[in-house]
Amino acid sequence: MADAMVATDLRDAGSQYIVIDDCWQVSRDERGAIVPDPQRFPSGMKALADYVHSKGLKFGLYSDAGARTCQGRPGSNGYEVEDARQYAAWGVDYLKYDWCDTDGVDPKIAYPTMRDALKATGRSIVFSMCEWGRSTPWTWARGVAHLWRTTGDIQDCWSCPGSFVRILDRQAGLEKYAGPGGWNDPDMLEVGNGGMTTSEYRAHFSFWSLLAAPLMAGNDLRAMSEATREILGNRDVIAIDQDPLGAQGRRVRDDGEREVWAKDLADGGRAVILFNRGQVAASMAVSWQEIGLPYDTEPRVRDLWAHRDLGRTTSPFVATVPPHDVVMIRVTP
């Protein structure tokens, strides 16, 4: 995956981390040290981390605040200090910390415990909380973790319970809690996994960027279609996600199947999404006043998926949005 991230130009487009999820660990040794799977990782985790670093990338691992992980592997409960030291020694740059097998465990104790253990190593490690939003972490996790999951796991579908659309709905209203140093995490991207159309994946990626969410590709980077590569590597859209102001986008208007969302940008502009949830194409419009710009403004407009500058205008922006798709623009004063 590290090789593929480089070969497909995703690294050059901004992707930094290769993160291994559950099932890399098999046991603990007689000293309590976590043991990686010797068949899957015969050279060990330090060698793997060194290789990933040699590609100009960063390396992440997974653990759990309970006794066992979601797949029954050893968790970190009671071993936080030992595990954090081991991760640092291996060269880990990112830790996803899950919430399985945690009966009787308080997240407001468990997560600060691992935070403190990571900080004590002296290594800079991004700390990702994954307790699925059960304790409303956006209200208390800033200063504990760098990002916190807001919902259960995402699914690769348009209308099932874990669809990105349903997860999106649950992000509305959380924008005031996100910003530099602490981010709402609506889970990984499903782009390219085969359960949705190209239009639906384009909408998915657009919204995760508007939400200032982590853009964690969850597909096989070695076997991407050209459409998937175009979505995951769209630098215009990635720039919206990475805008230094760090504002999370918000829903501006809800007309049932048609919605307008906007995100404030560091240059005083806005990113705007016109979203069509319906089954047929729809003509949609947004005025500059709706997204918080002065009534007499004449901003520059750029279509971020067409990669086309549309010029300056004082008139409302109007576009035809295909079904299950978006039109995404950048509006610059």
pLDDT in tens, 31-66: 999 999 999 999 999 999 999 999 999 999 999 999
Question: What is the C-alpha separation between 232 and 221, in angstroms, rounded?
Answer: 10
pLDDT for residue 213: 98
171: pLDDT strictly greater than 90: yes
Q: Which residues contact 156 (CB under 8 A, 6 or more apart)?
A: 190, 193, 194, 195, 196
11: pLDDT strictly greater than 90: yes
The mean per-residue pLDDT over the stretch 300-307 comes to 98
Question: What is the C-alpha separation between 240 and 265, in angstroms, rounded?
Answer: 8
Question: What is the C-alpha separation between 204 and 152, in angstroms, rounded?
Answer: 16
Q: Predicted confidence band at 7 (pLDDT cuts at 50, 70, 90)?
A: very high
Q: Is 264 one of the annotated active-site residues of the chain?
A: no
In Å, how far are 126, 201, 302, 331 from 16, measured between CA atoms?
12, 21, 27, 27
pTM (two decimals): 0.97
Q: Predicted confidence band at 108 (pLDDT cuts at 50, 70, 90)?
A: very high
Which of 112, 113, 102 lies closest to 142 in space, CA to CA? Answer: 112
The mean per-residue pLDDT over the stretch 74-82 comes to 98
Q: Where are the alpha helices (DSSP H) in 2-79?
A: 2-7, 10-13, 45-54
> pLDDT tens digits, residue range 182-211?
999 999 999 999 999 999 999 999 999 999
Q: Is 98 one of the annotated active-site residues of the chain?
A: yes
140: pLDDT strictly greater than 90: yes
Sorted by where each starts, the structural domains of the chain and their CATH numbers stand as 2-241 (3.20.20.70), 250-332 (2.60.40.1180)
The structure tokens listed for 49 are 């981390």
Query: Residues 153, 220, 254, 309: which is the catalytic one?
Result: 153
The mean per-residue pLDDT over the stretch 23-37 comes to 97
pLDDT for residue 192: 98
pLDDT for residue 295: 85
% of residues, the chain, pLDDT over 70: 100
Average pLDDT, the chain: 98
In Å, how far are 137, 242, 246 from 239, measured between CA atoms?
27, 5, 11
Q: Predicted confidence band at 232 (pLDDT cuts at 50, 70, 90)?
A: very high
19's torsion region: left (phi>0), alpha (psi -120 to 50) or beta? beta
Query: Residues 98, 185, 187, 325: which is the catalytic one?
Result: 98
300: pLDDT strictly greater than 90: yes
pLDDT for residue 147: 98
Q: Which residues contact 325 (CB under 8 A, 6 or more apart)?
A: 199, 200, 202, 203, 276
